[in-house]
C-alpha cells in the first residue's frame, strides 16, 4: 500500500512537470549588412579581343626590264621614300636602243619634210593641169605615210626612253624596306616571280581582330534601341595592349568588318587602323585590342562580390527592400567593368544590394543596412 502511494505521488509530480510551460526564446536582432545603393552611370562598352598587326600597304619590288644588277642603293631594314632609287640595272643596251630610236625619229622626220615639199610643188602643177589628178593623189598619200612613220618612230623612242628609265628600280611606296633578295651581279628579268625586296608602310598600321557574330548582333541591337550611343560619329575607338602588357600610346579607329561570317568559327573579322609614328608596331605582332564599341549613359554597375550563383547556376543578388527585408533577385550581367558587373536585368536604380554580410542573412530576414563608402567598396 505504501509503495502504491509513492507511485501515485511520483506520477502526479511528473504530470505537474509536464504541464509547466518552457520559457520563450529571445527574438533574434536584425543582422548588420553592408549595402550599395545603385545609381546609373556612364559606362563605356568595351570588348577585348586578340589580334595581329599587318602593314597598311605592302609593295613587292620587281624589275620592269632585264639585265645585270650593278648597284644596290639602299640600306636593308631602313626607311625609304616613294621614288627613291633602290637598284641600278646595267643600262648600256637600253641607252643604245634609245639613241637608235632617236636616229629613227630624225630619219622619219626628214622623209616627211621631203614628202611635204613634194606635195606643195605638185599642188601648183595640179592646179594648172600640168600633172594628172592621180599623180597628185599619189604624192599626197606618200606624204601621209611619212607622217605615220614619224609617229611610229616617236612611239619607239618613247618606249626606249621608258625602258632606259626602268633600269633605275625605284621605291613604289614610302615605308620600311626589308632585306634584298639579290646582290650586285645578279641577272634579273621582267615579270619574275621572286621580288627583289619588299617595302612595308608602317604608319599607319592595321590591326585585324575577330569578334563573335552573336556579340556583334547584340551590339547593333543595343545601339538601335538607344541603349548605347556610338562614339565619335558612330565610329568605335580602339586601344591596344601590347605583348608585354603595356598600353599602346595611340588610339585607333575601327574601319570595317567582313560582310560574311566564318562558317568554322562563327566570327567576323574587324580591322582597325592605328597611327604608328614611332614605328613601335611591326607587322605580325600579337596584341589585344580593346574596342570601345559605344557608351551606355545609364548603366547599372554592381560590385562583383554582391552577385552570387544559386543552385540552378543563375546569377542572383540579395536586395534590401524599403522595409529592411532581404529579397533575392535573379539578374543578368552583360560584362565585367573593372571589379563590377554591368547588369542589364533584375536590378534598377535605387536598389540596395548587399555586398557585406551575405553569409549572415537569407531572403525574408530583417536586416540593419549600412551604406558602404565608395573607397571601401572599391577595396
- The pLDDT score that the predictor gives to residue 293 is 72
Q: Residue 6: what pLDDT?
A: 45
Give the pLDDT of residue 374. 57
Q: Which CATH class is domain 46-56+202-297?
A: mainly beta
Percent of the chain with pLDDT over 90: 56
Residue 233: per-residue pLDDT? 57
Fold of 64-89+167-194: OB fold (Dihydrolipoamide Acetyltransferase, E2P) (2.40.50)
Q: For all residues of the chain together, what is the average pLDDT?
A: 85
Q: Which pLDDT belongs to residue 8? A: 41
Domain boundaries, the chain: 31-43+299-378, 46-56+202-297, 64-89+167-194, 91-165
Query: Is it the case that residue 170 has pLDDT exceeding 80?
Result: yes
What is the pTM for the complete model shown?
Answer: 0.67
Neighbouring C-beta atoms of residue 131, cutoff 10 Å = 17
Is residue 297 scored above 60 in pLDDT? yes
Which CATH code for domain 31-43+299-378?
Answer: 2.40.420.20
CATH topology of domain 91-165: Helix Hairpins (1.10.287)
The pLDDT score that the predictor gives to residue 295 is: 81
| Residue in this structure with the C-alpha cell 538601335, named with its chain if needed | 224
pLDDT higher than threshold 90 for residue 43 = no
| Residues 211-250: tens digit of each pLDDT | 888 877 877 776 666 665 555 555 678 889 998 889 999 9
pLDDT reported for residue 26: 58
Q: Is the pLDDT of residue 18 over 70?
A: no
Determine the pLDDT at residue 27: 64
Question: What's the confidence (pLDDT) of residue 255?
Answer: 78
pLDDT tens digits, 104-130: 999 999 999 999 998 888 887 877 777
Amino acid at each position: 500500500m505504501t509503495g502504491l502511494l509513492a507511485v501515485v505521488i511520483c506520477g502526479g509530480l511528473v504530470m505537474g512537470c509536464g504541464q509547466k510551460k518552457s520559457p520563450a526564446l529571445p527574438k533574434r536582432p536584425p543582422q548588420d549588412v553592408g549595402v550599395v545603393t545603385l545609381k546609373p552611370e556612364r559606362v563605356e562598352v568595351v570588348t577585348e579581343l586578340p589580334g595581329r598587326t599587318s602593314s597598311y600597304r605592302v609593295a613587292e619590288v620587281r624589275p620592269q626590264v632585264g639585265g645585270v644588277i650593278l648597284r644596290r642603293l639602299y640600306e636593308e631594314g631602313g626607311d625609304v621614300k616613294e621614288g627613291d632609287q633602290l637598284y641600278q640595272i646595267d643600262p648600256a643596251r637600253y641607252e643604245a636602243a634609245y639613241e637608235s630610236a632617236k636616229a629613227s625619229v630624225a630619219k622619219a622626220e626628214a622623209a616627211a619634210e621631203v614628202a611635204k615639199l613634194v606635195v606643195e610643188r605638185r599642188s601648183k602643177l595640179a592646179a594648172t593641169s600640168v600633172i594628172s589628178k592621180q599623180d597628185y593623189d599619189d604624192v599626197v598619200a606618200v606624204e601621209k605615210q611619212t607622217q605615220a612613220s614619224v609617229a611610229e618612230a616617236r612611239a619607239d623612242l618613247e618606249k626606249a626612253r621608258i625602258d632606259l628609265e626602268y633600269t633605275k628600280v625605284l621605291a613604289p611606296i614610302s615605308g620600311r624596306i626589308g632585306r634584298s633578295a639579290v646582290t650586285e651581279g645578279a641577272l634579273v628579268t621582267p615579270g619574275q616571280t621572286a621580288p627583289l625586296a619588299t617595302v612595308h608602310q608602317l604608319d599607319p598600321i592595321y590591326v585585324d581582330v575577330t569578334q563573335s557574330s552573336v556579340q556583334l548582333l547584340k551590339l547593333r541591337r543595343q545601339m538601335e534601341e538607344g541603349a548605347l550611343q556610338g562614339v565619335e560619329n558612330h565610329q568605335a575607338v580602339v586601344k591596344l595592349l601590347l605583348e608585354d602588357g603595356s598600353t599602346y600610346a595611340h588610339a585607333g579607329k575601327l574601319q570595317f568588318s567582313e560582310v560574311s561570317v566564318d562558317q568554322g568559327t562563327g566570327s567576323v573579322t574587324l580591322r582597325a587602323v592605328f597611327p604608328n609614328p614611332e614605328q613601335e608596331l611591326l607587322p605580325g605582332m600579337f596584341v589585344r585590342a580593346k574596342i570601345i564599341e559605344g557608351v551606355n549613359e545609364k548603366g547599372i554597375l554592381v560590385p562583383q562580390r554582391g552577385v552570387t550563383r544559386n543552385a540552378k547556376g543563375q546569377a542572383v543578388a540579395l536586395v534590401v527592400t524599403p522595409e529592411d527585408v532581404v529579397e533575392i533577385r535573379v539578374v543578368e550581367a552583360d560584362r565585367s567593368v573593372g571589379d563590377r558587373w554591368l547588369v542589364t536585368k533584375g536590378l534598377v536604380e535605387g536598389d540596395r544590394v548587399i555586398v557585406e554580410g551575405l553569409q549572415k542573412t537569407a531572403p525574408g530576414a530583417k536586416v540593419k543596412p549600412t551604406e558602404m563608402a565608395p573607397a571601401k567598396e572599391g577595396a
